[in-house]
Structure 1
Amino acid sequence: MARTISKSVQNQIQLLLASNMTYEQVMERIPGLKKSTLGRQVIKGEFKTAKAAHQYLNGLGYTIGYFGVLKLLKSMNFRAKIKAKKPLLSKQHKERRLAWAMAHKVWITDDWRLKGDQGSVMVWGCITHDGPGYVCWIHDGTMKAVDYVNILETTLMDSLKYYGYNPEDIYFQQDKDPKHTSKLAKQWFVDNNFTSDHIYSWPAQSPDLKPIEHVWHHLKLKLSIYDTKAKGVHELWERIEKEWNIFTVDECRRNIDSMSDRCKAVIKAKRGHTR
């Protein structure tokens, strides 16, 4: 439920608006009423629609229209989307989906670049049906085959050890980047007892088929609602690591369990884009 504010604060808001300040300037002027507050409430699910956010801001005394709220949310990296219709899942359906995922122990991996005002950070991360694996910072900003193998040897294997998994039980998925499919990487998987037909590659130019793409997007949203910008790449990395480690098991499972629906969407779209 949206909090209430005192009459004196409401009067202060009205005075600032009357002095021709924009609503964004007012939000930065009044303590506790920053854009990040609105962002946190959207991410937590307190506001399901832009209309709900609009009503909340109007209740605080902001003279902002509905389309102004849409613009504000867009500036915070939120996008409007019509909720997709999904088939009803019975208890039996859910049990079968869970059994499949648990049997396959799917690992989804990727590397991604996160930008800040003072630079960018390239990271590598992985998710599993049991939660997020470890994430690492690729300091040079580029990754070669030998660097990738080093990440597999350390970050991936540490993640496997954390969850108590054996490499031969893992269904490992990555994209077709040359460093991922290099002879060096392929030999590493053989040497470390990964089952060859359990190593999958995403089709090129197919972010809609990558469950971890949604995890990166959610991470970006979390970083965008900090009250202050990261002062440098080290502070940006600290925030990335903190937010990554609080991804829940349910969040990872929702993305991985959507793989079947993604494949069906590709077939329905006759191999074209699904979104």
Structure 2
Amino acid sequence: MRTLSGSTFKGLINDDRLAESDSVVMDLPLAAAQFSLTVHGISNLRVRVVLSSDGASVPSLLSIFPVSGLPSPRGGWRISGCVTHFGLKEPQQANCRANYQPKARRAGAPRELVGSVNHQGTQGTKEIGKVRKPEARPSLTKKHKAARLEWARTYKKEDFSNVIWTDETSASLDGPDGWAKGWVVNGKEVPGRFKRQQGGGGVMIWAAIVDDEIIGPTRVPKGVKINSEEYMKILQEDFIPWYKSQATARKRKLKLMQDNAPSHSSSFTRSFLEKKGFRGSRLMKWPPNSPDLNPIEHLWAIIKQGLYRNGTQYHSTDELWEAIKREFKAVDSQTVKKLTESADTRVDRVIQCKGGYVGACKLK
């Protein structure tokens, strides 16, 4: 198969967007190079002269691939993420097999180009790096969105410095799912990780934030399933002592936020909290499927980023727990204050997004 070298390809395009290293721009099959040059704005005639090709495939290909690289008005997809983006300084991913190969074949592209769209494009993105998968979120039904809107309107004028935001999370010995992959710049060494035969383990923790303070963290004993009784034990360890230490005037203003987990919403738990003074309006009514409304979610992100910095792994749950406590101590009060103050923005955004996720739209 005739090919066009990466250096020749770069020289013809003379595009500042291409990376400095020729190794990133892979040798392209002739038909793929011919098409790529045309998409980059080199005339059909010049392509034919430079590559000693009849250029017959170019018109049919350009009928479905936009020359500008912008989305096609017909298909709404783009070639620029595949064949034409070898060596870009900004890494981009492309699902070449699913999106581009079938359309190139239907357009009557030569076999070399169809194979190149499949192999060269995906190989090109592998040369650039890898990316973490997007975070999964619970789906929101109309009922969920209505509940979120009601919550936002109820607490729109709330003084969130008096709200105690609570939650549980788990930390594993090897890091969260998906953290084993990330962008690796060309020429840089891939960090090493060891693999456990039995899957390792982790630590479940509870914590809370209020104004500029952190309450906890509290470690959940290994193997314990958090039911109402165990949840009460967790609260007794750090939360209740903290609450008792507060001035009476402040106690009367505090409100408790917790999600709708069965251990939180059971009659046993409600009875326990009522005895501590958390009843009626002092227990925040929480909409289901709404982790994005809880500022403590960002605290978990800060803690875990510190825990697994540089690919750190842990040999035991006790070692992990000591690291968790260190990371909590490293979070300053100003950072916590910013998190709790973000509740106002979350309220505004969920109203503007009509109950949708706060990141789904921007404030006007």
Question: Is TM > 0.5 for Structure 1 vs Structure 2?
Answer: yes
Shift, 1:242, TM fit: 1.2
Corresponding position of 1:258: 342
Which of 292, 298, 304 is the matching residue for 1:214?
A: 298
- The 3-state SS of whatever aligns with 1:200 is coil
Residues 185-238 of structure 1: per-residue CA shift (max 9 Å, x gap): 111111112243111143111111111111111111111115741111111111
Aligned pairs for 1:98-247 within 5 A = 100-102=159-161, 105-117=162-174, 118-139=200-221, 140-161=223-244, 164=247, 167-225=251-309, 228-247=312-331
Contact 2:160–2:344, Cα closer than 8 Å, also in 1: no
The gaps in structure 1 that reach 5 residues or longer are 1-19, 21-63, 80-98
Given residue 148 of structure 1, which amino acid in structure 2 is its aligned partner? Y
- The 3-state SS of whatever aligns with 1:256 is helix
Contact 1:132–1:248, Cα closer than 8 Å, also in 2: no
CA distance in 2, matches of 1:261, 1:172: 19
Higher helix share: 1
Corresponding position of 1:3: none
CA distance in 2, matches of 1:153, 1:101: 24
The alpha-carbon distance between structure 1 residues 163 and 66, as it changes in their structure 2 partners (threshold 3 A), is: farther
Task: Return the TM-score normalized by structure 2.
Answer: 0.47
Task: Return the TM-score normalized by structure 1.
Answer: 0.61
Residues 151-173 of structure 1: per-residue CA shift (max 9 Å, x gap): 22221112224555664331110
Contact 1:115–1:121, Cα closer than 8 Å, also in 2: yes
CA distance in 2, matches of 1:174, 1:214: 16
Larger-gyration structure (1/2): 2
The alpha-carbon distance between structure 1 residues 261 and 230, as it changes in their structure 2 partners (threshold 3 A), is: same
The gaps in structure 2 that reach 5 residues or longer are 1-22, 24-87, 92-124, 136-157, 175-199, 360-364
CA distance in 2, matches of 1:141, 1:168: 33
Given residue 212 of structure 2, which amino acid in structure 1 is its aligned partner? D
How many residues of Structure 1 are paired with residues of Structure 2 in the alignment? 192
CA distance in 1, matches of 2:304, 2:317: 15
Higher strand share: 1
Shift, 1:128, TM fit: 1.1
CA distance in 2, matches of 1:270, 1:196: 27
CA distance in 2, matches of 1:182, 1:256: 26
- The 3-state SS of whatever aligns with 1:107 is strand
| More RCO (CA 8 Å, sep 6+) | 1
- The 3-state SS of whatever aligns with 1:202 is coil
CA distance in 1, matches of 2:310, 2:318: 15
CA RMSD of the aligned region, Å? 3.2
CA distance in 2, matches of 1:194, 1:168: 9
